[in-house]
């Protein structure tokens, strides 16, 4: 099992050592930790060094905080970071960002990170909340690296486009109780799916903090939806995550 996207950072979660211990105890092979603001990056580096070959790092830029984050600082830090497995999450958020000026700023920032990913030959992890079409259009025109649509909740037609482009969709633990994720999980082949917790968000138990150990619930639910076995879903999604992030 691999949790392909989590936020194991002091701003978000409590008892980080216990969370990592639980993940190992439940048999996870790896956790991909996503730091999405510059003040998160140093801790992400610390956690990666503390848990080598178990916690891996992606660095990104929270689109929903476009008005608050120093883009230049984030860009410089991400460009210099030596051990990234991907750039992200980056993308567009039209749920929280309504103003047309700031949406245009989001698009400019997004394009700069796509260019950086191309330059560094690193895959992209994409946030596309209520902006799925725009994200896909920009990526199709500009991305030259593998793409993972994190916690994707767009239409089936958009999901099929992602599949046809050879990209991946991550299904969160909230697949247990969210219709959009269930529909996508049921209709997209396993060969294009990875699983994530989005810790501490999207818990399979509403109202409770999520954690990587809960990844098994996403795997169980996908197995039910696809009328296959836990082992099959685990094997394929783990292989997909290893391929995407370049980890073994």
| b/e map 68-85, b = 16+ CB within 10 Å | ebeeeebbebbeebeebb
Per-residue model confidence (pLDDT) at position 174: 96
Kindly write down the DSSP assignment for every residue of 141-210, as one continuous string.
HH--S-EEETT--S-HHHHHHHHHTT-EEEEEGGGGT-HHHHHHHHHS-GGGEEEE--TTSS-SSTTS--
Q: Is 178 exposed, middle or buried (0-12, 13-18, 19+ CB in 10 A)?
A: middle
Question: Which one, of 122, 229, 217, lies nearest residue 175 by Cα?
Answer: 217
Per-residue model confidence (pLDDT) at position 206: 85
Per-residue model confidence (pLDDT) at position 26: 96
> Are 101 and 153 in contact, with CB atoms under 8 Å apart?
no
Per-residue model confidence (pLDDT) at position 248: 82
Alpha-carbon distance of 90 to 70, in angstroms, equals 14
The residue to which tokens 């510059």 are assigned: 38
Alpha-carbon distance of 91 to 128, in angstroms, equals 6
Q: What is the mean pLDDT of each run of 10 residues along the chain (248 residues)?
A: 98 94 98 97 97 98 96 97 96 97 98 98 98 98 98 96 98 96 97 98 92 98 98 98 96
For residue 47 the two structure tokens come to 């956690």
Which domains are seen in the chain, by residue range? 2-245 (3.20.20.140)
- Residue 142 half-sphere exposure toward CB, CA atoms < 13 A: 19
């Amino acid at each position: 099992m691999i949790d392909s996207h989590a936020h194991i950072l002091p701003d978000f979660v409590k008892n980080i050592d216990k969370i990592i211990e639980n993940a190992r105890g439940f048999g996870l092979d790896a956790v991909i930790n996503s730091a999405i603001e510059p003040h998160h990056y140093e801790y992400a580096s610390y956690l990666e060094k503390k848990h080598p070959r178990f916690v891996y790092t992606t660095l990104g830029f929270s689109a929903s905080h476009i008005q608050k984050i120093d883009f230049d600082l984030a860009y410089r830090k991400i460009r210099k970071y030596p051990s990234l497995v991907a750039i992200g999450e980056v993308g567009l958020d039209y749920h929280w960002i309504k103003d047309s000026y700031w949406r245009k700023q989001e698009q400019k920032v997004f394009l700069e990170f796509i260019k950086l990913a191309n330059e560094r030959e690193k895959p992209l992890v994409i946030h596309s909340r209520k902006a799925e079409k725009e994200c896909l259009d920009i990526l199709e025109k500009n991305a030259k690296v593998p793409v993972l649509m994190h916690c994707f909740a767009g239409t089936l037609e958009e999901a099929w486009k992602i599949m046809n482009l050879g990209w991946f969709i991550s299904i969160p633990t909230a697949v247990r109780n969210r219709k959009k994720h269930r529909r996508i999980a049921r209709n997209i082949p396993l060969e294009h799916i990875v699983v994530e917790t989005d810790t501490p968000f999207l818990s399979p138990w509403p109202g409770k903090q999520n954690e990587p150990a809960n990844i098994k619930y996403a795997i169980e639910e996908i197995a039910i939806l696809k009328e296959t076995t836990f082992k099959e879903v685990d094997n394929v999604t783990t292989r997909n995550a290893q391929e995407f992030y370049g980890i073994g």
